[in-house]
Chain A
Amino acid sequence: MSDRTTDATAQAAPKQGLNLLHLLLEGRAFFALIAIIAIFSFLSPNYLTASNALTMTSQVAIFGLLAIGMLLVILSGGIDLSVGSTLALCGVFAGWLMQGVELQSLGVILYLPVWAVVVCALAMGAFVGAVNGILVAFLKVPAFVATLGTLYMARGAALLMTNGLTFNRLSGDPSLGNTGFEWLGFNRLWGVPISIFVLAATALAAHLLLTRAPFGRWLYSTGGNARAAELSGVPVRSVQVWVYVLSGICAAIAGLVLSSQLTSAGPTAGTTYELTAIAAVVVGGASLMGGRGTIRGTLLGAFVIVYLGAGLVIIGVSSYWQTVFTGAVIVLAVMLNSIQYGGKGFKL
């Protein structure tokens, strides 16, 4: 009956004293981050130093980049399990290009400038994303299965490309004009790792896309109610393809940043990173059903997960325990999501 909803509103009407709880619930990822920083700063004097904060944040950059792409996909009501593999594939693809491409027919070795390598790697990410998007939007393969397939395929391709080895010569040669790969993640600008700037720029662009551009409205409505969106003239299928493409590009950026940070590109990089990215999105308050979530929340989620893990390392907790703690945080976050979104109304 339709008046159920009115009752639900009445129930959710603010009560004195509930406001604080509501505020805590709304900003839970933020408060969790504050609590994590406070607790670990108290436990270890080394935690909240400028250098450690920068180190941790450049780690956040990798997961944050993946999580931004993941958020877009999750908002559309899908999921992208392939981002970890795409990260590796794009990393080794960049590494392979940096080694020089031998064109046998012409008998020359082609050394691309770094900007061209970057463009090629991003195109590779976009390609994997486009495959995902077309599988999901046009061939109606469930997102979980489609991206699970590309997870395997991209990883396999990365291994094939390197024969399982790692590319270590990424710095280029001044005589060949292809130096500067360090600039993507390893170098610092005003003392701050470049990777953090990359994350900030990507997050800002994604935030504007979601909140200011028509595409954002399309995306939220596609995830919220695809049928209603379609009837309102929203190009639902192209939105679905585009989110996977953007997620692939985010994974490629993360792959470039990571190989630059490590100054090497290996085919096994980024294994299980897709799960961390999903965790960041969920901790950030997004709904896995689609239609609900923000960039700000997702970034906070990435910070919470990395800062918690790094804190546990610093105070000397075994890495096995870290895994347990991370899991607990994810479960707690989803529980709070259910309370926030599901607990207000009641069902007849």
Chain B
Amino acid sequence: MQPLLEVRGLTKSFGGVAALSDGRFTLRPGTVHALCGGNGAGKSTFLTIVMGIQSRDAGSIRVLGKEAQFTRPSDALAAGVSIIEQELSPVPAMSVAENIFLGREPTGLFGRVDFARMNADAQELLDSLHFSISARSLMMDLTVAELQLVEIAKALSYNAEIIIMDEPTSALGEAQADELFAAIKRLKEQGKGIIYVSHRLSEIFEIADEYTVFRDGRFVGEGAIADVTRDALIEMIVGRPLTEEFAKSNTPTDQPVLQVNGLNAETWVKDISFTLHRGEILALYGLMGSGRSEIFERLFGLSPDMGGQITLNGKRVSLSSPNDAIAHGLAFVTEDRKGSGLNLMADLRDNICMARLDELSKLGFMNRAREASAAQRMIEAFGIKTPNDRLVVSGLSGGNQQKVVLGKWFLTEPGILLLDEPTRGVDVGAKREIYRVMSDFAAKGGAVIMISSETDEVLGMADRVIVLRDGRISGEVGRDALSANSLLHLAA
């Protein structure tokens, strides 16, 4: 069978530095092909060249057997290659149909937009994909998963044969991801080829048929998913054999650090009670919208007090602002690193020092030497790969950015870490380091509450799991009784 896409010897360098030195890829019709690699492996460069966003230095790209020379994304779209980016770019105030046909609205008499036809066409497209979304609803009323599905519909409306999905589940919960996977399976049946990029290995094993691994800008290997083990794939991605994935060195004590009693957060998250112990990693598990993040926001003083008691180290506290929470030894690593974790315009040093300015200044003047040494200490502690602490953080890879966020919070010497999806968009190697940091922190007497949508991560790291459903606690599972089944059963 003729491949949909065949790429050979793709090369690209920036300013003398090779970002891609042997890009190879073969996509067969009716398959989902995972493109794997750590941060900086050259996946991005590869995809931007295939989409015609960047030019190549050398190599060949054949789409449906024909040599392709895309110079801009519209060329690629016209040839049947479309991409669903990680960060979606909907026009929120427009309808689903308007978004799908943006830039190619069907027109009627005198160039008038034919809304009736546009809505009908869009609805037909959505129905044919079994997406239960109305073409007339506004984008801003949709959930992230639905937006993702609209993007898929949009990609298909270009009659795409090749669909590239870049981390499509990074903003989705488990149930919504299943919906997406069902859609992907239908596309497969129609003979489309899907290039699937994800850091989540469990997904790759669930949905992909084949894999290609890049490392340091080079093709490393390819094959059928059925013929590879998880460990072998990780080894290929990272380039060295790995020790155990979830390093766990902490043992929980029964000394309570944080007690939450009958806490309400927002109107629909009600009557949350739990106790966090010294040395413990506690996971909050639940589907998107089950109230996990809302509990964190309440604990960190981001939402108003709506009843309930919070007791820290035996003392009742109110926690009415982030400043308050920080002063009580809480640290909050949010799920959205770029949106709420980092100041992307600022350098490493300023980002690391951001939550500790009171300590690093005296009489209204910053102590620059102490700032520099604090930043250096965190760079070393977390093994952040950077030439110096004056590098603007937008130039770092996702894993290193996440370590900067962790460094910022560890500088405040917290007693309790709140981690919301701490490994999202982070490659396998950096994930392990983050797990190590978590368990070391707990082993040294800290306490961690984490939210994760990755069941593997919860099973691997948590000492105890509290499962939430529709804003209430639906169960609690200890490490001994933990299984994917028990979690899903309680969550859904």
**A12-B15, A13-B15, A224-B343 in contact; A5/B396 too (CB < 8 A)?**
yes
Report if B119 contacts A (CB, 8 A): no
As a 0/1 sequence over residues 1 to 33 of chain A, the CB contacts with chain B under 8 angstroms (1 = contact) are 111111111111111001000000000000000
Asked if B323 and A233 make an inter-chain contact with CB atoms under 8 angstroms apart, the answer reads yes
Asked whether, in the complex, the Cβ of B357 is within 8 Å of the Cβ of A214, the reply is yes
Q: For residue A1, which residue of chain B has the nearest CB?
A: B44
Chain A neighbourhood of B37, CB < 8 A: 3
A292 neighbours in B (Cβ, 8 Å): 345
- CB-nearest residue of chain A to B321: A233
A1 B86 Cβ-Cβ under 8 A: yes
* Chain A residues within an 8 Å CB radius of B13: 10
Majority secondary structure, A binding face: helix
Contact A231 B397 (CB under 8 A): no
Given contact pairs A10-B17, A220-B350, A230-B322, A3 touches B44 in the complex (Cβ within 8 A): yes
| Contact with B19, one of A10, A220, A235, A345 (Cβ below 8 angstroms) | A10
| B85–A348 touching, CB < 8 Å | yes
Residues of A within 8 A of B86 (CB): 1
Contact digits for A317-348, partner B, Cβ 8 Å, 1 yes 0 no: 00000000000000000000000000001111
Would you give the shortest CB distance from B353 to chain A, in whole angstroms?
7
- Residue A167 at the B interface, CB < 8 A? no
B353-385 CB mask vs A (1 if < 8 Å, else 0) is: 111011001001110100000000000000000
Neighbouring A residues of B289 by C-beta, 8 Å:
none
Q: In the complex where A2-B397, A231-B322, A348-B166 touch, is A13 in contact with B346 (Cβ < 8 A)?
A: no
Partner of B345, one of A214, A218, A224, A234: A224
Looking at B175-183, B243-251, B334-342, the stretch in contact with chain A turns out to be B334-342
Q: Which of B45-53, B101-109, B304-312, B453-461 contacts A (4 or more CB under 8 A)?
A: B45-53
Asked if B313 lies at the interface with its beta carbon under 8 angstroms from chain A, I say no
A192 to B291, CA, bound (A): 66
Q: Does B16 contact A (CB under 8 A)?
A: yes
**B29 contacts chain A at the CB level, 8 A cutoff:** no
Q: List chain A residues, Cβ under 8 A from B48.
A: 346, 348
Contact yes or no, A231 B85, CB < 8 A: no
A residues in contact with B300, CB < 8 Å: 231
The distance in angstroms between the C-alpha atoms of A154 and B378, with both chains bound, is: 49
Measured between beta carbons, the chain A residues less than 8 angstroms from B353 are: 217
Q: Are B395 and A225 in contact (CB under 8 A)?
A: no
Looking at the assembled complex, report how far the CB atom of A344 sits from the nearest CB atom of chain B, in whole angstroms.
9
Give residues 148-199 of B contacting A (CB, 8 Å). 166-167, 197
Would you call B14 and A231 a contact (CB within 8 A)?
no
> Within the complex, what minimum Cβ distance (angstroms) separates A143 from chain B?
19
Query: Which B residues, 3 to 47, have Cβ-Cβ distances below 8 Å to chain A?
Result: 13-17, 19, 37-45, 47
Number of B positions contacting A (CB below 8 A): 64
Q: Is B398 an interface residue (CB 8 A)?
A: yes
What residues of chain B lie closer than 8 Å to A348, measured between beta carbons? 44, 47-48, 51, 53, 83, 85, 166
Q: How far is the CA of A224 from the CA of B47 in the complex (A)?
A: 29
A220 x B398 contact (CB < 8 A): no
A214-B364 contact given A8-B395, A220-B346, CB 8 Å threshold:
yes
Shortest CB-to-CB span from A3 to chain B, Å, is: 4
Cross-chain contact A233 with B326 (CB below 8 angstroms): yes
Judge if B425 is at the interface, Cβ distance under 8 Å: yes
Is A7's CB under 8 angstroms from B366's CB?
no
Pick from A2, A212, A232, A347: contact of B399, CB below 8 A: A2
Instruction: Kindly identify which residue among B167, B197, B340, B408 contacts A225, using a CB–CB cutoff of 8 Å.
Output: B340
List, in ascending order, chain B residues with CB within 8 A of A212's CB: 365-366, 368
Task: Decide: A15 and B343 in contact? CB cutoff 8 A.
Answer: no
User: Are B355's CB and A232's CB within 8 A?
Assistant: yes
CA distance A3 to B429 in the complex (A): 13
Q: Is A221 an interface residue (CB 8 A)?
A: yes
With a cutoff of 8 Å between Cβ atoms, the chain A residues found around residue B394 in the complex are: 5, 345
B332: interface (CB < 8 Å): yes
Query: A-facing mask of B84-112, CB < 8 A → 1, else 0?
Result: 01100000000000000000000000000
CB within 8 Å of B: which A213-262 residues: 213-218, 220-221, 223-225, 227-235
Indicate with 1 or 0, residue by residue over A182-224, a CB within 8 angstroms of chain B CB atoms.
0000000000000000000000000000001111111011011
Is B139 interfacial (CB 8 A cutoff)? Answer: no
CA distance A235 to B358 in the complex (A): 12
Given A2-B425, A291-B346: A9 and B395 interface contact (C-beta under 8 Å): yes
Provide the bound-state CA to CA distance between A221 and B364, in Å: 17
> Is B439's beta carbon under 8 Å from chain A?
no
Partner of B41, one of A3, A10, A213, A231: A3
Within 8 A of B (CB), among A68-108: none
A7 to B15, CA, bound (A): 11
B401 lies within 8 A of chain A by Cβ = yes
Task: Contacts A5-B394, A9-B395, A10-B17 given; indicate if A217 touches B366 (C-beta within 8 A).
Answer: yes
Q: How far is the CA of A234 from the CA of B351 in the complex (A)?
A: 12
Residue among B83, B300, B355, B426 facing the most chain A CB atoms (10 A cut-off): B355
B71 touches A (CB below 8 Å): no
How far is A7 from B357 in the complex, measured between Cα atoms in Å? 32
Q: Is B54 an interface residue (CB 8 A)?
A: yes
When distances are taken between beta carbons in the complex, the residues of chain A under 8 Å from B47 are: 1, 348
Q: Which of A2, A11, A346 lies at the interface centre, i.e. has the most chain B CB atoms within 10 A of its CB?
A: A2
Which residue of A has the minimal Cβ distance to B346? A224
Of chain B, the residue at the smallest CB distance from A227 is B340
Q: Report whether B40 and A214 are in contact in the complex, using a CB–CB cutoff of 8 Å.
A: no
CB contacts (< 8 Å) of B41 on chain A: these are: 3
Q: B344 on the interface (CB 8 Å rule)?
A: yes
Cα(A237)–Cα(B119), bound, Å? 43
Q: Is the CB of B365 within 8 A of A213?
A: yes
Roughly how many angstroms separate A228 CA and B398 CA in the complex, as a whole number? 16
15 A-B contacts (beta carbon < 8 Å): A1-B43, A1-B197, A2-B398, A3-B41, A3-B42, A12-B395, A13-B14, A212-B368, A213-B361, A224-B345, A227-B340, A235-B323, A348-B44, A348-B83, A348-B166
By Cβ-Cβ distance, the 10 closest A-B pairs, closest first, are: A2-B398, A11-B14, A224-B343, A232-B355, A6-B40, A10-B17, A227-B340, A214-B357, A3-B39, A233-B323
In the complex, given contacts A5-B394, A224-B343, A225-B344, what are 4 additional A-B residue pairs having Cβ atoms less than 8 angstroms apart? A1-B43, A2-B39, A229-B343, A287-B345
